[in-house]
Amino acid sequence: MSYSIFRWQLIALALFTAVAANAQPVITVSDEQLPDFREVCTGHFSGEQFYEVSAEQLSSPLILQAGEPFRISLHCYEGFTDSLSLPAVDGEVAPTRIYVRLFPETTGVFESDIIHYSDDTEDIPLPVSGTGIDTTVPEAYYETATGTGSELKTQLYGIIEGHSVQSYSALWTHFEVTDATFDGYVWDIYADIPCEEPPYIYTFGDDQDSGTGGTSEDDVYNREHSMPRSWFGGSVDPMNTDLYHIYPVDKYVNAQRGSYPFGEVDNPQWISMNGTKLGPNAAGGYEGVAFEPIDAYKGDLARAFFYMITRYENQIEDWTYSDSGNAMFDHNTYPGYEPWVIDMLLDWHEQDPVSQKERVRNQAVYAIQGNRNPFIDRPEFVEKIWGDTTVHITPDPAPMHVTIFPNPSTSLIFIEMHDDITGLELYTTSGKLVKSAVPKEQQTTLNMGALPPGVYFLHLKTPNGIIREKVVRNE
C-alpha cells in the first residue's frame, strides 16, 4: 500500500470519528399532532390512533409519557399505560409504532401531550385532544322498553318508527358526519384495517362515485345498502335512505357483494384488500354464496340488521324478497330471520362489541333522522329479544371457568380465564356502565380504585359466550 493511500485512510478515519463524537441525539416523531379523538362516553375508551417514533445517538432509554386521560401501548388492544420505556440498542431506537387511546373517566375537553425524552435530549411533545361526555341517549328514551322477546321488539319499534326520511342524494353529505375517520377521510368498513394503515383511503366528494369507474378496487366510493334494496322492493323509502344500514364503501367491493346474504366463508372465491370475503356460506342453513366482512365490523352489521328487522316490523311481511333475501328472512314479524341467521348475528354481536365508531355514528344519525339504533345504545336488548329463539349447535361446550381475585377488593382485581377475554364491562347495580376494556387475552386486571364502594356486575365476553360475575369494591 502506498503512503499516500494509507494517509488518506487515516484522514477519513479521523473525520468519521470526529463526526461520530459530535453527533447529537435525535428523536423523530412521525406526526406533529394526532387528530382529535372526538367525543367519547365516560366509562368507555376511544378508537385507536397510532404513530411512529424512532431515535438515534441516545445514551439512555427513550421514555414516553402520556398526559391524563390518554394512554399508550405497543399493542393495539392491550397494555395501555401512561408511560413506556423503549431501550436504545447501540444508541438507536428503531421505528416503533405507538398506539393511543382516550380513556375518559369524567366529562370535559382534554388537551394534553405525549412527551418523548431521554437523559440527553429535550422533550418532544405530540399534542393529543378529545372530549369526555355523558351518555348521549335522551333521558327516558327507552322508558317503555320493558318486555322480552317479541314484546320488547314491538316496544322498540314503537320508539324508533316514524323517523325523518332523507333524500337519496343527501346521503353523500351525511356521510361526512356519520362516517368520517379521525383525520376526516371516508371510513370504509370494506377497506379499513383496524390498527394498521388501510390499503387505500377516499376523500369525501373528490372520490365520490359519479356514475363511472369502479372497475377495480381503490377507484371510487358509493352508497352500500348493507340490507340490499332488492330485499325490500327496490328504491322504496324510508328503507332506501335509512342511514342505519347504509355505508360509504368502495364501489368495486360493493359490486362484488351485490345482493348476496352475509355469511361465513371458508373457501373464498374472492378476497378484498382488507380481507372481506365472498364465497360459499359455511354458517349452516344456507349453502349459496355469501359475503363475509372482517371481524372488526361484524358486530356493526349485525346490529344494523337487528335494527332493520325491528324498525320495519310493520312492513317486513309485505316486502318483495329476492332469492338472496329469502335465504335470511323467515317472512314473520318475529323473530324475523331464519334460525341460522339469528345464530350467526348473535355471535357477531357478542364477539364484536359496540365501539366508539358506532356510538358516534348513532348520535350523528339520530341528529339527522330523529331515531336511534337501540342495539347500539342498549346491546343487552339483542339477547333479550333473540337470545332464546335458536339453539347453538356446538355440542356439549366446555364450561368457562374464571378466577377473580381478590374479591372483595379495595382497588385492583386480577382476572384469569381459560378462554380469551374479548370484552370486559363493569356495571353498577342500577345498570350504568362504569368501566369497559378489550383485553384480547386470557388474563387482565381491573382497577376499581376510583369507584365508590359497593357491589358491581362484571361481564366478561369470550368467543364462547358471556360470563357474568359479581364483584365488590371495599372501602
* Structure confidence at residue 393 (pLDDT): 37
Given the C-alpha cell 412527551, which residue does it identify?
A: 115
Cα of 120 vs its chain's centroid, Å: 39
Task: Give every strand in the sheet of 93-102, ordered side by side.
Answer: 26-29, 49-56, 93-102, 70-73
* Structure confidence at residue 42 (pLDDT): 86
Amino acid identity, residue 325?
G
Q: Three-state SS for 261?
A: coil
pLDDT in tens, 107-140: 999 999 999 999 989 999 999 999 999 888 999 9
Specify whether the CB–CB gap between 442 and 416 falls below 8 A.
yes
Angle at 361 between CA 82 and CA 40, to 5 degrees: 25
DSSP state string for 168-195: TTHHHHHHHHHSB-TTSSB--TTT--TT
* Structure confidence at residue 84 (pLDDT): 97
Q: Which residues pair with 441 in a beta bridge?
A: 421
Q: Other CB atoms closer than 10 Å to residue 80's CB: what's the count? A: 21
* Structure confidence at residue 5 (pLDDT): 45
pLDDT in tens, 147-204: 999 999 999 999 999 999 999 999 999 999 999 999 999 999 999 999 999 999 999 9
Task: Give every strand in the sheet of 108-117, ordered side by side.
Answer: 39-41, 124-133, 108-117, 62-66, 83-86
* Structure confidence at residue 24 (pLDDT): 92
Average pLDDT per consecutive 10 residues, the chain (475 residues; last block may be shorter): 42 38 85 96 91 97 97 92 96 98 94 96 96 91 96 98 97 98 97 97 98 97 96 93 98 97 96 98 91 97 98 88 84 92 95 92 97 96 85 42 77 78 82 82 82 86 81 82
Specify whether the CB–CB gap between 80 and 72 falls below 8 A.
yes
User: Which of 247, 172, 194, 157 minimizes the C-alpha distance to 355?
Assistant: 194
Cα of 283 vs its chain's centroid, Å: 23
